[in-house]
Amino acid sequence: MIVPRTSRKEILAKLRKKIEKKIPVFIASAGSGLVASLLEKAGADCVNTFSGARLRANGMGTMSMMWPILDSNKQTIDYTREDIMPAITGDAFICACINANDPLKDMRVVLDDLKRIGVFSVSNIGPSISYVDKDSEIYRVLTKSGITLDHEIEMLALAKEMDMVSVGLAFDEEDSIKMVEESQPDIFCFHAGTTKGGLKGYDSGETIEETAARTEEVYQELRKIKPDVILIAHGAALENPVDGQYILDHTSCDGIWTGSSTERIPIEKAVLSTAKEFAGLRFPDTKK
């Protein structure tokens, strides 16, 4: 087969056109080709790939990617090339989330490899140091050893230089401001926290109102720095379409990014429900 190709220019033009028409941008993660094809058919603008999504497809929680059980960059590139790219028609573009802190890989080579297979957009969460609490001992140990947000920012800046769409992501206001100021990403997603719901979700107790308020506080600061940045919301209490509508109604975002909300949770519900029906089938009572 021949995998469809796109470009930075085409991607940004399509997104800007949607924003001008007041239609939300929709980014969604996929850990399998089936999910990717369904997301594209449903109208996703971007199908996002990363090690966390691949592990979700194996029944693990997203945060399992933080444990050293795999080469996240290799897994992301391999399954993007073999599972995701052949499954889409080109209506949606692919954004690969890579680990910019991989000490064994030159990010220029990683980005070149992605462009070669047809991926023209990258993000910094595959995984990111931002997932680790700043007041923790492990955060201090990691940053001391050279695992830093600076490497992620440098990778995003390099991606733009290489004519790729850069998608920055951070978890708090401080990192968000630093990332937008220093890497000037085309798209920025404020990650409000691990998505709640389903078998593997994490519920911090935060309401959708609180998630929206925290997200908007960051957006107000980022608009001052880069007025044309495309702002995307994700995570925490944004669990379902009703929550998504609340975010659109109460923040100045340009769209939303779903992961577990359109991948893990719907699969859990659908498969479990249907499988229970099959498991409940019985042979006819021939004695009647």
| CATH number attached to the domain at 8-266 | 3.20.20.70
User: In terms of Cα–Cα distance, which of 167, 160, 172 is closest to 129?
Assistant: 172
Is the bond preceding 127 in cis, omega lying within 30 degrees of 0?
yes
SS3 225: helix
Over residues 206-228, mean pLDDT: 96
Helix axes 208-225, 241-250, angle to 10 degrees: 40
**Spans of all domains in the chain:** 8-266
Over residues 8-27, mean pLDDT: 97
Q: Any bridge partners for residue 27, and if so which? A: 46, 257
Q: pTM (2 decimals)?
A: 0.91
**What's the CA gap between 266 and 279, in Å, rounded?**
20
Residue recorded with tokens 């680990």:
99
Beta strands per DSSP E along 114-229: 121-123, 165-170, 187-191
Please indicate whether residue 174 or residue 70 has the higher confidence score (pLDDT). Answer: 174
Assess whether pLDDT exceeds 90 at residue 256.
yes
Percent of the chain scoring above 90 in pLDDT: 76
